[in-house]
Amino acid sequence: MLKSVLIVDDDPAFRGLVHRIIVALGLEVAGEADTVAGALTAAAELHPEAVLVDVGLPDGDGTSLAAELTALPWRPRVVLTSSDPDAVNPDRAKQVGAIGFLPKSDLTNGSLRRMLTGC
């Protein structure tokens, strides 16, 4: 069973909300990052089993970050998210190695757990 999740989003309020959601799902938050650079550093240090990645980050693109994360030796599950429900189409998410895309408005409907854990 998946246990650790890295949250990557530049909005601290959103990171706090998702942190609470992930804990309520019975999962552990391994850490948080607010930039592409911070996410890569945190992933290398923490080895999360899954990463929730905002598509729009101040120093880069979340889809490019997803490709870098899924190329790591332990291949974490990556879920892309955005407040724009049309930010990433399913084909693009798969191209970068992500499990999929989930709009931020849908994070509380049970889809987040399924995407992060595969169950």
Residues 27-39: tens digit of each pLDDT: 999 999 999 999 9
Which pLDDT belongs to residue 73? Answer: 97
Cα dihedral 66→15→21→92 (10° resolution)? -20
What domain count does the chain have?
1
Stretch (H or E) spanning 100: strand 100-103
CB 32 within 8 A of CB 8: yes
Distance CA 86, CA 69 (A): 22
Distance CA 14, CA 84 (A): 14
Indicate whether 118 pLDDT > 90: no
pLDDT band at residue 2, thresholds of 50, 70 and 90?
A: low
Question: C-alpha angle with apex 94: 14 to 6, nearest 5 degrees?
Answer: 35
Percent of the chain with pLDDT over 70: 98
Distance CA 118, CA 38 (A): 26
Residues 70-115: tens digit of each pLDDT: 999 999 999 999 999 999 998 999 999 999 999 999 988 788 988 9
CA distances from 86 to 32, 49, 105 (A): 24, 26, 12
Distance CA 36, CA 78 (A): 14
pTM above 0.85, yes or no: yes
Percent of the chain with pLDDT over 90: 86
Average pLDDT over all residues of the chain: 94
Q: Give the domain CATH number at 21.
A: 3.40.50.2300
| Residue 98: domain span | 4-117
14-28 mean pLDDT: 95
